[in-house]
Amino acid sequence: MLVVPCNNLLAINASTIPSPLPSSSSMEICRSSFLFVTTSYHLKLRKNGVITCRSKKSALVEGPSCVFVGPIETASVDRLEALYQQARDSYYSGKPLIVDDMFDKVELKLRRYGSKYVVKYPRCSLMRQSTYADAEEDPSQLFALASIWLVFLAFGSLACLVPTIHTLGVMYNEDPFGSTLVLHSPQSVLEFPAALNRVLLVGLGSLVGFPISSAAVKALQGLWKNDLVALKGCCPNCGEEVFAFVRAAKPKEPPHRTDCHVCDSSLEFRTKVEESASKPRSRWVYGRIYLLKQNS
């Protein structure tokens, strides 16, 4: 009998057994292709082949496990947060759990849900050599802007309609459905200057109110079509909250630039739009606020 010692972490495969073996030989070995062991093996070899494979202590090497969440689009917030924390901790420990693309998708999904675990403060980008902060959509600012445009629309409409209704009421003896005109009465010649003033008032009201109403209608249509979005975030320089109204991301449109109202730093808003697969008209707008370098 020949005793062959094996070193630690030895991988034994069926292909490593010498061949051919006699037909009468029997083989009793682990069913898995590879078996990683942490202690020494002793192989008993006889004339008719390998009979047994015995170890003092063996253990299989298992891979890392993670939280099962299923499809990201339908996963719950609790499971996504648990997976995000586990993947983040494993990445910091030097043993990444999931690939970078999957980690980014989970992070974006949690940002859309407004999770506190993905809140990040202003930080530096080694690739762009700049400081930036995350930005998110602010529906309250859009509502306030729409309310202002509604006030302008109401003012322009009143400027157009009130003088017209007043003039028609006077012409028809304050009875718009009557058939007798004031201009047909004998006193109509004496009231010609007053009628001329009313006509001028109607023209002035239309001249002032129509442009205001048209501009308000155009702005409200842009808000309804989501051409304009409101982004808010922290200033990368001073940390104060800033916001800006920017247009949705388009290929050839330059980024929106503005200044911080606290530290007067030059900022650049970059937007991204994620269309929802389940809801055709639903979307999610987010972006980043970059600190621009000052020209010396």
Q: Name the amino acid, one letter, at 170.
A: V
Q: How high is the pLDDT of residue 280?
A: 59
Q: How far apart are CA 62 and CA 77, in angstroms?
A: 28
> According to the model, what pLDDT value does residue 106 have?
85
What pLDDT, in 10s, does the model give residues 269-290? 988 887 765 565 667 788 889 9
Task: Output the pLDDT for position 143.
Answer: 92
Rounded percentage of the chain residues whose pLDDT exceeds 90: 11
Mean pLDDT across 98-119? 82
Burial class (CB in 10 A: 0-12, 13-18, 19+), 164: middle
pLDDT band at residue 64 under the 50/70/90 scheme: low
31 — pLDDT class (breaks 50, 70, 90):
very low
Nearest residue to 104 (alpha-carbon basis) of 127, 131, 120, 84: 84
Query: How do residues 161-211 score in pLDDT, each as one tens digit?
Result: 888 887 777 767 654 444 444 445 555 555 667 667 777 888 888 888 899
Task: State mean pLDDT over 142-171.
Answer: 87
- CA–centroid distance for 128 within its chain: 21
